[in-house]
Amino acid sequence: MQKDFSEAMTDIGRSEQMEKKPSDGAVPDSRRPSGSRALAVFKYAAAAGILLWLYHVGLIDFAPVTFLVHKPVLLLALIFMTWLTFPLCALRWQMLLRSQAIDMTGRDIYRVVYLGAFAGLFLPGMVGGDIIRTVLGKRTSTAGTATIAMTVVMDRLLGICALLMLGVVSSFFLFSTSPGLARMSRLPTHLLTLASLAVLLLAVLYWIVHWFSVRPAASGNARRDSLSSLRNALKPDAFKRLGTTTMIVALALSLVIQGKDLFILFLIAQATGFGELGLLANFTAGIASFLAQIVPLTPGGLGVGEAVYGQTANLLLSDGAPSSYGSVMLAFRVLSVLSVLPSVFLLPRSTSGG
């Protein structure tokens, strides 16, 4: 498994090196490699800076994390609930793959989903979880890159659509049932919808730009070939082949996945002294946070998610000084990391490639 991941990273790096080769008569640009490393360092520094600022202004603290550490039974239960995201996501992607007649074993699908999640949590710069999933999916199956990419894009869009649906419903009921916020019941719903659409657009643009990381390494016209593959992947006919039943079931599964994660946030809040964060307020703040992390400004959205969750919760509930509501999202992130790491040892090794 680790070998597959390393080889995928090598393939991407080799593709990037080909792009960096100067054309005839061109002057080599030696700044590109150092620029990529500088961007990675900047993203980690930005995440650290955001967290330090949040701690300084009192939007996060480490009390919820230390509380969970001293409650091993609760901690293990929450880690298990968080880990369930991986088999559920694997099941959703398997449905999309089968609709395209792509034959991959359940073990391989789960491994690819895990490695994509690992990359999304830890890797900065040009390589994201979706790119890793596309590369490994191509290595694990005989399907073309464009077909694999289309299923990855649709898998991502289904998750975003589920967040949008839950966000509109939760914000509407939250502002409709809160006496002090009833007069604003429509405005937040519309604002959340518009903000979500903006995030969706940015995410799609980001994905398109990063598509060039998975272009064929041996192609002399790599950029043109990649753009052509991406256009084929995003054609309406490609999505029609998924089938209405598959789309409906996959969307329902996306609602379960996103709802589960939001409910984990609610459990963390209730268990760690933030009981005033009711179910609807927690769902609204959590959805805003998840949407904000789609565009990877920092590795895994570190700091961004905590800031958005904390600020949203404070806007909804705080009447005085800001409370450290962002700590709930920080504790959720720790659970996500702990749920990913054991998968390195639990997953069986691939028999392909040696």
pLDDT of 208-251, one tens digit each? 555 544 444 434 444 454 445 555 555 666 666 677 788 889 99
Short-list 259, 53, 282, 84, CA closest to 173: 282
CA dist., res. 14 & res. 225, Å (int) = 16
How many CA within 13 A on the CB side of residue 12?
23
Q: For the segment 136-160, what is each residue's pLDDT rounded down to a tens digit?
A: 888 877 777 777 888 888 888 888 8
Short-list 266, 339, 338, 270, CA closest to 309: 266
Does residue 257 register a pLDDT over 90?
yes
Short-list 21, 119, 64, 4, CA closest to 327: 64
Average pLDDT, the chain: 74
Residue predicted with more confidence, 347 or 240: 240
Output b/e per residue, 140-167; b: 16+ Cβ within 10 A. bbebebbbbbbbbbbbbbbbbbbbbbbb
The DSSP-derived string for 126-170 is T--HHHHHHHHHHHHSSS-HHHHHHHHHHHHHHHHHHHHHHHHHH
Residue with tokens 């054609």: 235
- pLDDT category at 16 given cuts 50, 70, 90 is very low
